[in-house]
Amino acid sequence: MLSTTDAQERASALIARARRAGADACDAVYVSDASESVTVRLGQLEDVERSENEHIGLRVFIGQRSATIGSSDLSDAALDELADRAVSMARAAPEDPYAGLAPQDRLLTGALPDLDLVDPAALSPRDLRALALEMEEALRAYPGVTNSEGASASAGEAVVALATSHGFAGAYAGTTRSLSAGALAGEGSTMQRDHAWRSARHSADLPSPAEIGRQAGERAVERLNPARVKSGPLPIIFDPRVAGSLIGPLLGAMSGSSVARRSSFLLDRLGQRLFDSAITIHDDPHWRRGLRTRPFDGEGLPTGPRDLIADGVLTGWLVDSATGRQLGLPPTGHAARGVSGAPGVGASNLFMSAGAVSPAALMTDITEGIYITDMIGHGVNPVTGDYSRGATGRRIVHGELGEPVAGFTIAGNLIDMYAALTPADDLEDWRVINVPTLRVDGMVVAGD
């Protein structure tokens, strides 16, 4: 893996090669990552994995024609060939009236912000094994747990560099530290499983391994002997670990490419109120130590905090440069890309504003409802906003959590769900999408 300085120089060198080969304009992105993971099961070492990846991608423009190509071979000879092939491919490509690099006057200039993405304390395989053993010991000790699916601890690092032919060059590095554990409860056909996990940039931001193991055991035991539910409309409470899945479709619908293709359920809703006026959804790419923190986007534009939803109102679309030209909008600094293909868009660290009541108070007036702890499937129609997913959780009876329930589907339309959404006050800040416990009234449950 290259250092950030060497990675930036390698991307810039590839730009020079492409210009010599005949490209009118170009950009190059370098991405490398290395990770190590140790898994234990039943107190014994089960697996040790080490992976390393290093790739570089080149996008070239010949007038309004473009081509993108990538390689894992970073030798001088390979990069020479890569540049020649990319230019040849671009010359044979069809014209795209929206193709081109980001506007030069919008490129990030000056020093990159210090976002504290690198944990200087390395973790050895011995350290990872000790963390995994502590997790599994706590998991197996939890009353009602009958078996373990194992516990894993991992550490990784990554470097990203981007260079363009019109003046941008930058690179940054980041580390990740992760803990995960899976537990089994019950026996035979009544067996249930669940898990717990946590990831952070720095080890100091992780909970103790024992806490992760305890959570996995508790969640598995809570799922034992699930009952069935009757079909009909019911109020639904979403646990924070699944509530973020309601916001993912919102981001897809805010993508400029979806809007340009007219395949977004948010068409014609720009500037309209989607949520209660007390709700704000904030995108913060400069959140220190955030899992999706980044100093620049995939086109070399500066990133910065922005309210995607302000006082319940949809504030705008997320656009890269090409989509922005198509829509007549400036790029928003949300371009995301890998080493192959043109940039798309992506948000960073998202935060929904917390509500004013506790999760317990949120369900006090519910005579009969469901508290969702897990969901399966991806039943969201991005064009209409229709939503339908399998779920498991616990029954809510007279404002209290009751028996576990499973084998049912919840359905609604996202526009209606957003309008009916009420957040609790338990917002956490360690996920990629950070939302509190959420209540949505009027959803349809399909059970027995």
Tokens 């959804």, located at residue: 281
Element (DSSP H or E) covering residue 39: strand 25-41
Over residues 190-200, the pLDDT tens digits come to 999 999 999 99
Model's pTM, two decimal places? 0.95
pLDDT in tens, 244-282: 999 999 999 999 999 999 999 999 999 999 999 999 999
54, 70 in Cβ contact below 8 A? no
Closest to 401 measured CA to CA, from 371, 357, 427: 371
In sequence order, what are the beta bridge partners of 423? Answer: 438
Nearest to 406 by CA among 241, 89, 191: 191
On the question of pLDDT at 378 being above 90, the answer is no
- pLDDT for the residue 400: 97
End-to-end CA distance of the chain: 55
CATH among 3.90.105.10, 3.30.2290.10, 1.20.1250.20, 3.40.50.300 for 4-220? 3.30.2290.10
d(CA 71, CA 55): 6
* Cα–Cα distance for residue pair 104/219, rounded to 1 Å: 52
Cα separation values, 317 from 129, 163, 244, 304, 419, Å: 45, 26, 19, 15, 19
Domain boundaries, the chain: 4-220, 226-448
Question: Can you name the residues that pair with 238 across neighbouring β-strands?
Answer: 372, 438
- Token match 């990069």: residue? 79
What is the C-alpha radius of gyration for the chain, rounded to an integer number of angstroms?
24
Model confidence at 448: pLDDT above 90: no
pLDDT, one tens digit per residue, over 130-146 is 999 999 999 999 999 99
Question: Is 340's pLDDT higher than 90?
Answer: no
